Chain A
Amino acid sequence: MSTETLEQTQEVAVKKKSEDFLSKRRKKILSDPLNDDNPITVQVLGICSALAVTVKMEPTLIMAIAVVFVIVFSNLIISLIRNLVPNRVRIIVQLAVIATLVTLVSEVLKAYNYEMFKVLGAFIGLIITNCIIMGRLEAFAMGNKPYDSILDGLGSGIGYAWIILAVAFFRELLGSGSVFGFEVWNSIGLSGMPNNGLMVDSIGAFVVLGLIIWVQRSLSGYVEN
């Protein structure tokens, strides 16, 4: 009897410890995908949209927000229902959740930012097939608690976002001479700066992304095995 209560109190203590709002473990969940385990540069997922939408900063930002939204909420929803989801149809369930959220984003965009909807339309729909999101659902949300899953989603989403924003920054700067539509070269007195046509093409995205992966991997010391 006495040992049982002891065990119980120990359990409670352990639980309380892990419920730190941002414990070390949780910080790691959040920060790992930003650098050491980045979905794009290390896992090489989500390349398709990273190449396609990064011609200009503005659509890239909208895309990044959309992906973060979808990944966080699908992680949360799947994590909440993870014990109810039948194992044999779990992929379909994950897909349904993602597709619903993506459709939601696309509808909202169509209603409130039609200009961006015209630019991004097809690519928003393609978030459904973004491997990062399904990868996180299958690898993390199916086996972890809701709050941890939100952190994981946030980490992966932002890890994706900062890379595509970096690619877009260089592509817009070199390809169109602007950042968020602001004419950089003109404002610093270099109005003769020619635009690099390669950068507005998807080839430019390959080059920029390749360079970013190279720099990031050599800094973090990641080696593929």
Chain B
Amino acid sequence: MQQSNRYIIIFTLIMTIVVGGSLALVSQLLAPAQKKSIEFDTKSQILKAVMDISDVDDILSTYDSRIESLVVNVNGEEVTSTDKGPVVAENIDVAREYKKDYKDRLYPVFKFMNKENPNQVEAYIMPVYGAGLWDKIWGFVALKSDLETVAGVSFAHKAETPGLGARISSDEIQSRYQGKKIYNESDRFVSVTMVKGESGGGDASISNFDDKPHQVDGLSGATMTANGVNEMLKKYLDYYQKYFERVKSQGV
């Protein structure tokens, strides 16, 4: 069956309108639900850095009652609005900020408040972002109120090797960071590094990481991912240094 060109053009036009219209409609209808699931996902990731969320029933209300957020720049000054309008920490896309020069980025801080005393900060949660072996890795680091001790971390990845680098998103690896210090004895920033190899790996002198405040056990077979994590932590915690100094000096 051979139709005229006119028929074909009219047919495709109608098809385009119907298809486009229905997709636009669906996208509009589902937008609120999508926004809610993305919000839920972000907030559970933030909370995961400081607490075990597997037995928390209502992530959103927990988040609202315990978290206070703000945005700072690289100089540690609070940013409340840019020329594009007011800034909300939860809406900052860390991946997009990552593409800018580090001096121009916006850095969200999520303060985890004490349950009994809502004015007292229990932990500071900062997003981190970087490159793994195959693709991007990201997460959140929580520091205790002394801004020195790691309260917890939560890492996620896009395409690290399953069973090797992908282990960074497991609780087993993340719990290794708890209690580590990001400053050395003379108060110099040193970050926390993951060593090469597992259970001390090639370095037999390390048999126990409990007395190594700046190091955690490595990932066997995933040194490149571990390097990415180290780099990410070091860079991002460094970007927040000015803010940390300000908080310490003001005691806020």
Contacts and interface: CB of A to CB of B under 8 A. Distances in A.
A87 B2 contact: yes
28 contacts: A85-B11, A86-B3, A86-B8, A87-B2, A89-B12, A93-B15, A96-B16, A97-B19, A100-B22, A100-B23, A103-B23, A103-B26, A104-B23, A107-B26, A107-B27, A107-B30, A108-B30, A110-B34, A111-B33, A113-B37, A114-B38, A114-B41, A115-B41, A175-B162, A175-B163, A195-B163, A197-B163, A200-B162
Contacts of B30: 107-108, 110-111
Given A89-B12, A100-B19, A112 B162 contact: no
B33 A96 contact: no
Interface string B1-45: 111000110011001100100110011001001100110110000
Q: How large is the interface on A (under 10, 10 to 19, 20 to 34, 35 or more residues)?
A: 20 to 34
A200 B163 contact: yes
A37 B15 CA distance: 33
Nearest to B10: A86
Contact of B11 (A86, A99, A111): A86
A201 interface: yes
Interface in A80-139: 84-89, 92-93, 96-97, 99-100, 103-104, 107-108, 110-115, 117-118
B8 A88 contact: yes
Interface of B: 1-3, 7-8, 11-12, 15-16, 19, 22-23, 26-27, 30, 33-34, 37-38, 40-41, 161-164
A100 B8 CA distance: 20
Given A86-B8, A88-B8, A118-B41, 20 more contacts: A84-B11, A85-B11, A86-B7, A87-B3, A88-B2, A88-B3, A89-B8, A89-B11, A93-B12, A96-B16, A100-B22, A103-B23, A103-B26, A107-B30, A110-B37, A112-B37, A114-B34, A115-B41, A175-B162, A200-B162
B8 A107 contact: no
Contact of B40 (A88, A100, A114, A197): A114
A103 B30 CA distance: 12
A87 B7 CA distance: 11
A195 B16 CA distance: 50
Nearest to A103: B23
Contacts of B3: 86-88
A96 B23 CA distance: 11
A197 B167 CA distance: 13
A67 interface: no
A115 B8 CA distance: 42
Interface string A29-60: 00000000000000000000000000100000
A200 B7 CA distance: 51
B3 to A, nearest CB: 4
Contacts of A201: 161-162
A136 to B, nearest CB: 20
B2 to A, nearest CB: 7
Greatest chain A CB density within 10 A among B11, B15, B41, B161 is at: B15
Interface string A5-30: 00000000000000000000000000
Nearest to B162: A200
Nearest to A55: B162
A115 B161 CA distance: 19
Contacts of B33: 111-112
A200 B166 CA distance: 11
Given A87-B1, A103-B23, A201-B162, A96 B15 contact: yes
B13 to A, nearest CB: 11
B22 A92 contact: no
Contacts of A88: 2-3, 8
A118 B30 CA distance: 17
Contacts of B12: 89, 92-93
A118 B37 CA distance: 11
Nearest to A195: B163
Greatest chain B CB density within 10 A among A55, A99, A104, A107 is at: A107
Contacts of B16: 96
A115 B156 CA distance: 12
B44 to A, nearest CB: 10
